[in-house]
């Protein structure tokens, strides 16, 4: 439990993947890998048409990378390997043969926003404020930047990145295209997601797959691009600035 959990439940042709970590649903490497394994497995399951991705609890959706693991990085190789975890997750979501519907019940920081941007269609409660804080700790959101920019554009990405200590509301995120709808309550959101996924699960799976391919057109270079970005972040995390900033956060 201390390392978190990734659980998959199946109802009809709908798979719900729920991740949890006691530190605000943050992601150590092992948990990232387990999430990737679940997505890869469901991608090739002919009995599944739609995936719902969510986190456990009623507070934070995802606090991003594990602070403990970031502080433990001691060389460039380890740094690149750590950030490659988020790169691999985004690429797994991108290549997944099933539509991934995001359900965001609470705040998201850093890599959590990248996960949101990696979904195909995403919904949130009005408690789902977002913050991209990487620049404030001496690194940048380089791995997740392509996914976020793809959803909200350069101008909104610039504001989100440069206002690194500011929270942006769920309604701001909806206006920019990160969320499709924002609901006053989690219950309202869950009712809508349930109705939507039931409809999607009944559609032609071949049509859904072709639609997914169309939505992700132009991202074919992401295997190489995100690996390069992981190397940049892996180098920056070794700086004294970042080490000191992470210690203060912890």
Distance separating alpha carbons of residues 120 and 101, to the nearest angstrom:
6
pLDDT at 243: 87
Q: Cβ(208)–Cβ(200) under 8 Å?
A: yes
pLDDT at 246: 86
pLDDT at 155: 98
Distance separating alpha carbons of residues 19 and 21, to the nearest angstrom:
7
**How does DSSP assign 12-31, residue by residue?**
TTEEEEEEE-TTTT-B-HHH
In eight-state DSSP terms, residue 179 is: -
Domain residue spans in the chain?
5-201
Beta bridge mates, 131? 109
Comparing CA positions, the residue from 86, 120, 23 lying closest to residue 230 is: 86
Per-residue model confidence as pLDDT tens for the chain (250 residues): 568 999 999 999 999 999 999 999 999 999 999 999 999 999 999 999 999 999 999 999 999 999 889 999 999 999 999 999 999 999 999 999 999 999 999 999 999 999 999 999 999 999 999 999 999 999 999 999 999 999 999 999 999 999 999 999 999 999 999 999 999 999 999 999 999 999 999 999 999 999 999 999 999 999 999 999 999 999 999 999 998 888 888 7
In eight-state DSSP terms, residue 133 is: -
Distance separating alpha carbons of residues 84 and 198, to the nearest angstrom:
34
Distance separating alpha carbons of residues 211 and 198, to the nearest angstrom:
17
Start-to-end CA distance of the chain, whole Å, equals 20
Q: Which fold has domain 5-201?
A: 2-enoyl-CoA Hydratase; Chain A, domain 1 (3.90.226)
pLDDT at 116: 98
């Amino acid at each position: 439990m201390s390392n978190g959990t990734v659980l998959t439940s199946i109802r009809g042709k709908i798979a719900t993947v729920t991740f949890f970590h006691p530190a605000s649903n943050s992601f150590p490497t092992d948990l990232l890998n387990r999430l990737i394994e679940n997505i890869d497995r469901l991608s090739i399951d002919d009995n599944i048409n739609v995936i719902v991705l969510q986190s456990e609890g009623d507070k934070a959706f995802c606090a991003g990378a594990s602070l403990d693991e970031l502080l433990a990085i001691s060389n460039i190789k380890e740094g690149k390997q750590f950030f490659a975890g988020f790169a691999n997750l985004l690429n797994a979501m991108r290549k997944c043969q099933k539509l991934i519907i995001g359900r965001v019940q609470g705040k998201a920081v850093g890599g959590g926003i990248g996960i949101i941007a990696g979904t195909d269609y995403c919904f949130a409660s009005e408690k789902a404020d977002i913050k991209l804080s990487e620049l404030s700790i001496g690194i940048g959101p380089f791995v997740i930047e392509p996914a976020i920019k793809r959803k909200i554009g350069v101008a909104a990405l610039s504001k989100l990145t440069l206002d690194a200590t500011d929270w942006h509301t769920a309604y701001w995120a909806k206006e920019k295209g990160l969320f499709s709808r924002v609901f006053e309550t989690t219950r309202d959101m869950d009712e809508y997601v349930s109705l939507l996924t039931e409809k999607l699960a009944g559609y032609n799976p071949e049509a859904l797959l072709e639609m997914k391919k169309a939505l992700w057109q132009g991202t074919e270079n992401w295997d190489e691009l995100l690996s390069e970005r992981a190397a940049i972040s892996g180098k920056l995390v070794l700086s004294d600035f970042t080490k000191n900033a992470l210690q203060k956060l912890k």
